Amino acid sequence: MARTVAVEERSTAPEKAVLRFRRKVEKGDDWFDALLETIADWEEPEEVVGERTYRYLIDGEAFDWLLLAERLCTELEGAIPAVERDSLLFFGKLPRPLDDDEFRHAIGDAKHKAHLNFVYGVAVEEALQLVIEEEVLKEQRSLVWNSSDNVERQVFERIYGHSRDDLLDVYLTGRELPVTGEMTYSDYKAFIYWLFKYRMTQSDPARVASDTRKALVQLSHLEAAARRRGQFAPEPEKNGVVVEGEVVSRRR
């Protein structure tokens, strides 16, 4: 027992949090309750585990709680029902109904506010880009001759007034990419959040409100489709979770 206490005292804050999470689940506590309690107590904005960097808090403002949930669930391989875990991580489907007030109470006011920043600053922003992309593609399909204009360029210029490459160059000024010179998915999400704040300052309020409404409708449709897929998803053959490693962009 003394050895266990001594090891825990030498552990880092994330290691201690993971250990408490594991103990709660192993003693029979509901795994989702234990997960939310661990998220509420979590203090690290980002960490490196193995070769992977987890960035839970973007720009000190936007909290990606599902990324933290993924990291925690990875530590309890086999101790959490695979179907419930994967439905949460892949499709955002909670193992039981939970309204927004209950979720806020579970993770705390500060993290809940940061979670909303992530929803509006990352998820809604990505949905807006998808809405405008669909508009551009619809316009192109109506043309007698296909347009040679780059779809991505049109999307970014309509939303932000500049091309993606130009905006990315501005964003990366003063920032360091990994030695590979490539953006990870965490880097990409940080860029999306920067685009959200850029749009808030550069667009007139009426345009911001209109774009946000369109994006929220699109996000609602996407979430509903994901939940439907989650209901019929087969049980995985392996108890794996998503591993971040996809290269999203290379700086020119």
pLDDT tens-digit profile of 94-112? Answer: 999 999 999 999 999 999 9
For the segment 219-251, what is each residue's pLDDT rounded down to a tens digit? 988 888 776 765 554 444 333 333 333 334 333
Q: Is the pLDDT at 125 greater than 80, yes or no? A: yes
Tell me the mean pLDDT in the region 171-193.
Answer: 81
> With contact defined as beta carbons under 8 Å apart, do 247 and 187 qualify?
no
Q: Which residues are paired to 58 by β-bridges?
A: 62
SS3 61: coil
For the segment 130-162, what is each residue's pLDDT rounded down to a tens digit? 999 999 999 888 775 665 578 999 999 999 999
Neighbour-count burial for 171-205, b at 16+ CB within 10 Å, e otherwise? ebeeeeeeeeeebbebbbbbbbbbbbebbeeebee
Helices (H) and strands (E) in the chain, counts: 12, 6
CA 121/CA 192 separation, integer angstroms: 7
For residue 102, the number of C-alpha atoms closer than 13 Å in the C-beta half-sphere is 7
pLDDT band at 214 (very low <50, low <70, confident <90, very high): very high
Q: pTM of this prediction?
A: 0.82
